[in-house]
């Protein structure tokens, strides 16, 4: 008889786990509180473990279809005047040959299409209680349903309910990095933003970018330093962004005024640092377990890589799920910890605290755009 898994969360981690567990002969079911697929979000670099895992799981062609190639990076002054451009060939050299530039929603969509019709997804409900013993795990949902399974996967993101119920309150694991992030998809390309480019304004304490990855694929992204993230969240995205970005007069004021606050991803930039990711038959995956943050540039890659490895470890230990989970964690922990450290190190680069940090952020990019340096970078990627 095949094993059953309840997966909480239909984000990238949850859908990747659903695909992988289905591929190894399990019967997963996915639970998502949103009424439908949440396809929003900004642009992500999909590289490393995630890329390799996607190839092994057979979804790389679907992701490649959505990749438009590297794009130019155009830097503007707060009023809109052009400062410098890093050409797409330099960005490609930085990304490497085994890397894709995608919208977060592209990865989620490709995974969703891969599991559609194979794995049931129940939208509009979530878990309210968990009980486990040696033989199985019992999950109660808000709509009164009770599910019995051999494994519960908490892939429910930064504010995971599974983590809270099984491992303890969020405050015990959350490390705020003193920044806020907001991202939203746009139905138009604002004046002055280029097609197939990141158009960015970088100021001390703030970054504002409009990314276009081809027709109909535009997103806006904001990240800024905030000493008190809770106060920013209380203001809501429109007021918080209007206050933080009042000195940036190019494009930002119109976007903030017209944004639909329902579709904006707005949160503090926070890491999750947990000394274990599993408890018996319950395992945390993706941001619920190790949220490395956008500053690490690796959240979706690690979510897909971690999901694939989870399937591999469980398959190696038929009949002993806790042993499979322990092995999985032992293999993944070092990578996750390195990415968490990278996320902390990169904090200044994403919202430079002073002029020196701003210079440190821009100089390598401008240097990389010098043709001989770009050629060197390409050669470096080929050799490694
Ligand atoms: C709509 C959206 C937009 C995003 N945009 C960005 C962005 O622009 N930039 C960025 O850096 N990161 C963004 N993220 C986070 C990014 O997707 C993740 O860091 C990364 O992909 C790892 O994914 P994850 O599946 O672990 O977590 P998430 O992508 O956060 O997915 C978690 C899923 O679990 C669901 N969930 C939450 N609580 C519960 C619950 N109690 N019960 C059941 N399900 C629950 C959520 O609705 C979501 O579908 C976004 C996330 C979402 C959901």
CA distance 215 to 218: 8
Instruction: Name the average pLDDT for the chain.
Output: 91
Q: Is 343 in the pocket of ligand 1 (CB under 6 A)?
A: no
Q: Residue 160 pLDDT > 60, yes or no?
A: yes
Of ligand 1's listed atoms, the one at least distance from the Cα of 10 is 49
**Which CATH number is 167's domain given?**
3.50.50.60
Torsion over CA of 327, 329, 331 and 336, rounded to 10 degrees?
180
Q: What is the pLDDT of residues 94-109, one digit of tens each?
A: 778 888 989 999 999 9
Is position 318 within any domain? yes
Query: How many A from CA of 165 to the centre of ligand 1?
Result: 18
- Does 271 sit in the ligand 1 pocket, CB within 6 Å? no
Q: Whose CA is nearest to atom 49 of ligand 1?
A: 11
Question: Order of strands, edge to edge, in the sheet holding 278-279?
Answer: 121-123, 27-32, 4-8, 151-154, 282-284, 278-279
Q: Is residue 375 part of a domain?
A: no
The pLDDT score that the predictor gives to residue 365 is: 62
Q: Work out the end-to-end distance of the chain between its first and last CA atoms, rounded to an integer number of angstroms.
A: 44
In a domain, 381, yes or no: no
Res 122 pLDDT > 80: yes
Per-residue b/e over 263-278, b at no fewer than 16 CB within 10 Å?
ebbbbbbbbbebeebb
User: Does some domain include residue 202?
Assistant: no
> Which ligand 1 atom sits closest to the C-alpha of 127?
42
**For the residues 64-74, what does the mean pLDDT come to?**
88
Mutate to test the pocket of ligand 1, among 157, 219, 339 (most ligand atoms within 8 A of CB): 157
Report the percent of the chain where pLDDT is more than 90. Answer: 73
Q: Which atom of ligand 1 is nearest to the CA of 126?
A: 42
Average pLDDT over residues 349-376: 65
Provide the 3-class DSSP secondary structure of residue 321: helix
Q: Using the CB atoms, write b or e for 103-112: b if 16+ within 10 Å.
A: bbbbbbbbbb
Shortest CA distance to 32 belongs to which of 124, 144, 105?
Answer: 124
Residue 93 located in a structural domain? no
Q: 140 pLDDT exceeds 90? A: yes
Instruction: State the pLDDT at residue 356.
Output: 66
Distance 271 CA to ligand 1 centre (A): 13
User: What's the gap in Å between 300 CA and the centre of ligand 1?
Assistant: 10
pLDDT at residue 68, as a whole number: 81
pLDDT at 216: 85
Among the atoms of ligand 1, which is closest to the Cα of residue 294? 11
Across residues 204-224, what is the average pLDDT? 91
What the block records as the tokens of 204 is 């001390």
Q: Does residue 233 belong to any structural domain of this protein?
A: no
Whether residue 379 is predicted with pLDDT greater than 80 in this model: the reply is: no
Q: How far is the CA of 11 from the centre of ligand 1 (A)?
A: 5
Diameter over CA atoms, the chain: 65
- Arithmetic mean of pLDDT, 152-158: 98
Ligand 1 site, residue 14, Cβ cutoff 6 A: yes
The verdict on residue 294 lying in a domain is yes
CB 265 within 8 A of CB 41: yes
> Tell me, what's the pLDDT at 152?
98
Sheet harboring 137-141: ordered strands across? 127-132, 137-141, 146-149
What is the mean predicted confidence (pLDDT) over 65-76?
A: 88
- Does 384 score more than 60 pLDDT? no
Task: Look at the alpha carbons of 119, 120, 122, 123 in this order and tell me if their dihedral is positive or negative.
Answer: positive
Domains contained in the chain, number: 1
Is 206's C-beta closer than 6 angstroms to any atom of ligand 1? no
Q: Phi/psi of residue 44, each to 5°?
A: -130, 150
Q: How confident is the model at residue 301 (pLDDT cuts 50, 70, 90)?
A: very high
Whether 155 lines ligand 1, by a CB cut-off of 6 Å, is yes
pLDDT at 34: 93
Give the residue numbers spanning the domain of 162. Answer: 4-39+61-67+103-173+273-346
Distance CA 303, CA 160 (A): 14
Q: 12: Cβ below 6 Å to ligand 1?
A: yes
Residue 250 falls inside a structural domain: no
Ranges 4-18, 212-226, 290-304, 348-362: which has the least confidence: 348-362
In this prediction, residue 42 has a pLDDT band, given cuts at 50, 70 and 90, of confident
- Count of CA atoms in the C-beta half-sphere (13 A) of 212: 17
Task: Name the residue of 41, 143, 283, 302 whose CB sits within 8 Å of the most ligand 1 atoms, as the mutation to test its pocket.
Answer: 41
pLDDT in tens, 311-326: 999 999 998 999 999 9
What pLDDT score does 12 carry? 97
Percent of the chain with pLDDT over 70: 90
Quote the ligand 1 centre to 157 CA distance (angstroms).
Answer: 5
| 286 and 165 Cβ atoms separated by less than 8 Å | no
Contacts of 128 (CB under 8 A, 6+ apart): 140, 141, 142
DSSP 215-268: TT-EEEEEEEE-S-HHHHHHH-HHHHHHHHTTT--SSHHHHHHH--GGG-EEEE
């Amino acid at each position: 008889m095949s094993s059953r898994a309840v997966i909480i969360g239909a984000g990238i981690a949850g859908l990747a786990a659903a695909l992988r567990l289905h591929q190894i002969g399990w019967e997963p079911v996915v639970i998502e509180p949103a009424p439908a697929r949440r396809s929003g979000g900004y642009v992500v670099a999909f590289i490393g473990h995630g890329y390799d895992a996607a190839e092994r799981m057979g979804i790389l062609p679907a992701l490649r279809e959505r990749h438009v190639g590297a794009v130019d990076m155009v830097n503007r002054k707060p009023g809109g005047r052009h400062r410098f451009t890093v050409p797409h060939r330099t960005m490609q050299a930085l990304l490497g040959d085994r890397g894709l530039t995608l919208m977060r929603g592209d990865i989620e969509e490709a995974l969703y299409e891969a599991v559609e019709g194979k794995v049931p997804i129940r939208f509009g409900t979530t878990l309210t209680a968990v009980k486990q013993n040696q033989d199985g795990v019992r999950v109660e949902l808000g709509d009164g349903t009770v599910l019995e399974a051999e494994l519960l996967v908490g892939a429910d993101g930064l504010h995971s309910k599974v983590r809270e119920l099984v491992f303890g309150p969020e405050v015990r694991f959350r490390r705020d990095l003193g920044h806020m992030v907001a991202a939203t998809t746009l139905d138009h390309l604002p004046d002055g933003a280029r097609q197939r480019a990141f158009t960015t304004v970088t100021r001390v304490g703030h970054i504002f970018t409009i990314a276009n990855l081809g027709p109909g694929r535009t997103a806006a992204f904001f990240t800024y330093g905030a000493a008190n993230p809770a106060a920013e969240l209380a203001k809501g995205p429109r007021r918080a962004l209007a206050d933080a970005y009042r000195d940036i007069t190019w494009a930002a004021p119109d976007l903030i005024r017209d944004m639909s606050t329902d579709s904006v991803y707005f949160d503090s930039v926070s890491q999750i640092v947990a000394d274990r990711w599993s408890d018996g038959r319950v395992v945390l995956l993706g941001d619920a377990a190790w949220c490395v943050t956008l500053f690490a540039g690796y959240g979706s890659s690690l979510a897909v890589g971690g999901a694939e490895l989870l399937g591999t470890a469980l398959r190696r230990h038929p009949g002993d799920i806790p042993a499979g989970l322990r092995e999985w964690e032992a293999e993944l922990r070092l990578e996750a910890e390195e990415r968490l450290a990278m996320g902390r190190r990169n904090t200044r680069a994403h919202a430079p605290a002073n002029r020196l940090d701003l210079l440190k952020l821009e100089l390598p990019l401008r240097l990389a755009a010098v043709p001989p340096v770009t050629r060197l970078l390409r050669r470096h990627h080929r050799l490694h």
